[in-house]
Structure 1
Amino acid sequence: MGYRTIGKQLGEKAATASAIIRKWKMFKMIVYLPRSGAPCKISPRGASMIMRKVRDQPRTTRQDLVNDLKRAGTTVSKKTISNTLRRHGFKSCSTRKVPLLKPAHVQARLKFANEHLDDPEEEWEKVMWSDETKIELFGLNSTCCVWRKKKDEYNPKNTIPTGKHGGGNIILWGCFSAKGTGRLHRIEGRMDGAMYCEILATTSFPQ
């Protein structure tokens, strides 16, 4: 059959069928052959140094890495740095924002999760979840980029702790349960036990 007929039956272009057949006749295989290309400017030792630094200091910039390699006798561009990091599974990402927790808080939350891991669904229907959030009124929260792998987004090195209070913002309290969401409540001043009880007394859910 001709290339056009083969391509039509396989849903490919005639040029694709032609290229595959020519490759088979010449090399007796159809896999992609390695291409020569330009040699990498960064040696394996230099790449190891880059990987070690971004693992220890994820907020290192590409210019910092360019300067480090230059002091070691290798001159490269920031694009070359990016390509090397991507080949090793790293990419530039914004830092994740996580609650500012002390180690004791982390352990308490983990303990709670383990204790209630096997609770039946009916028990969770009796639970109401609540939290406060800060909304900026002026400007934007600062952002920062880190070099990390996909699975390391919540590694403490790659996050920015956030607080609940600050200037130029409002604090809102909200809640939800199996019945739905409650009303938002603006917090004026500092939250205490009396204010919390008052908020709960005025919170309603869909019946």
Structure 2
Amino acid sequence: MAKTRELCKVIRDRIVDLHMAGMGNRTIGNHLGEKATTVDAIIRKWKKFKVTVNLPRSGAPCKISPHGASMIMRKVRDQPRTTWQDLVNDLKRAGTTVSKKTISNTLRCHGLKSCSARKIPLLKPAHDQAHLNFANDHLDDPEEEWEKVMWSDESKNRAFWSKLRRVFGGRSRMSTTPRTPFQP
């Protein structure tokens, strides 16, 4: 079913005025370019509630006020590593009790999404000093010594590839399919 558009207040008032003047629903619809059923629904609503504006929809009201939402956005913008629990505690201190899911929905509505913090190595000054000492100790080593060093970005398989090829008969182990529980 297609979405329907709502008529503005001016057209609704005009429909009621024409009805009060004695025109029929079909005539009003033809005159204003609306369907007779739409005109009939507006007139029934006016007779029942004495208003022509749209009534509020059902649904729970927002627990977080616009002021609270702006406070949340400000805190997240200033401190991106803030957790949901911190935001819940801040709102609780302000007098609003909400869940973490409500905070998550509010942030998502304002264009923010959650992400995991990047895992970076935590280097202490002692680590930096150890690196500096290692570099100073091996400053005068010849280039042949450095070729024997296994660097952290090398895999052991690549470094010892020729030895592995001899052990496995020159074929890759990846070509054999592993047995699954469904194979006989």
Q: TM-score, normalised by structure 2?
A: 0.39
Choose between structure 1 and 2 for higher RCO, CA contacts under 8 A separated by at least 6 residues.
1
Identify, as 1 or 2, the structure richer in helix.
2
Identify, as 1 or 2, the structure richer in strand.
1
